[in-house]
Structure 1
Amino acid sequence: MSQIVFVYGSLKRGWALHHLLQSSQFLGPASTQPLYRLFDLGRYPGLVEWPSGLSITGELYQVDADCLAVLDDAEGVAEGYYARREIRLLPPAPPAHAWFWLGPVTGCPDCGDRWPRNTGGSF
């Protein structure tokens, strides 16, 4: 069984964890409905639902169950850092899931609509 996932941080092309998606199909860029915020948590961002949200930019991938388990592990789902759940994307994007940050964001810099803000490259 496969799943479509929306990635917005270190899983994107050119970033530290992208190699975890190498066996997956890249479906293209996508943006969320304006319901979320990205916060800079240091070496990675945290996506949260937010009352004054923005449309976050990212990438869509079709992943298999094995890859999904690897991604959940990389995102610390079992440890309670992130939770994978449905994310609302702008049409015509298909339904997808993303990893939502479960920790506090007080004092963390707001990333705007993308991470990293106005920079590029790898770690």
Structure 2
Amino acid sequence: MNLLFVYGTLKRGYVNHHLLERSTFVLETCTEKKFQILDMGDFPAVVKDVPVSTIDGELFNVDDSTLSDIDAFEGEWFSREEVVLQDSSIAWMYFLSEYVSHEGCPSITSGTWQKDKGDNYE
């Protein structure tokens, strides 16, 4: 089993959560304050080395097959890398590929992506 931290459309109640149907929800948690989460329109993306906020999300136990399926789903837009969570545990997380432009995408300063934006954007 693998720990996977999700922060966008893979979360419970969102459009792509069905990809985690064989997985077990562990808990809601967040990353260390090392990242920036962006609104890319229909989904969020996290970029590294821009310490704007913690990233809020959900942690799941996933099997190798599910992880492979999600890798294929995320495609060339995202790369899976290890991340340290606030409690010092380590999980997989998807970061925006350095080859994908995010110019003009607003930062979500609260660290929480939601379908309804609210006042947490810059």
TM-score (norm 2): 0.87
Equivalent position amino acid for 2:14 in 1: W
Amino acid at match of 2:56: T
In structure 2, stretches of 5+ residues that fail to align are: none
Indicate conservation of the 8 Å contact 1:37/1:54, yes or no.
yes
C-alpha deviations, 1:82-121, integer Å up to 9, x for none?
10001121016x310100001222100112211127559x
User: What secondary structure, in the 3-state scheme, does the structure 2 residue paired with 1:67 have?
Assistant: helix
Q: Which residue of structure 1 aligns with residue 85 of structure 2? A: 89
RMSD: 1.7
Measured after TM superposition, the shift of residue 26 of structure 1 is 0.4
Contact map agreement 1:111 1:117 (CA 8 A) in 2: no
Corresponding residue number in structure 1 for 2:35 = 36
Q: Quick check: 1:107 aligned with 2:104? A: yes
Instruction: State the distance in 2 between where 1:51 and 1:60 align.
Output: 22
* SS of aligned partner of 2:51: coil
User: Could you tell me the TM-score, scaled by structure 1's length?
Assistant: 0.86
What's the CA shift for 1:29?
0.5
Larger displacement relative to structure 2 (17-26 or 105-114): 105-114
Identical-pair percentage: 34
SS in structure 1 opposite 2:38?
strand
Q: How does 1:24-63 map to 2 (within 5 A)?
A: 24-63=23-62
Please say if 1:98 is aligned against 2:69. no
How many corresponding residue pairs? 115
- Runs of 5+ unmatched residues, structure 1: none
Please list every run of at least 4 consecutive aligned residues from structure 1 whose deviation after the TM superposition is greater than 3 angstroms.
117-120
Amino acid at match of 2:39: D
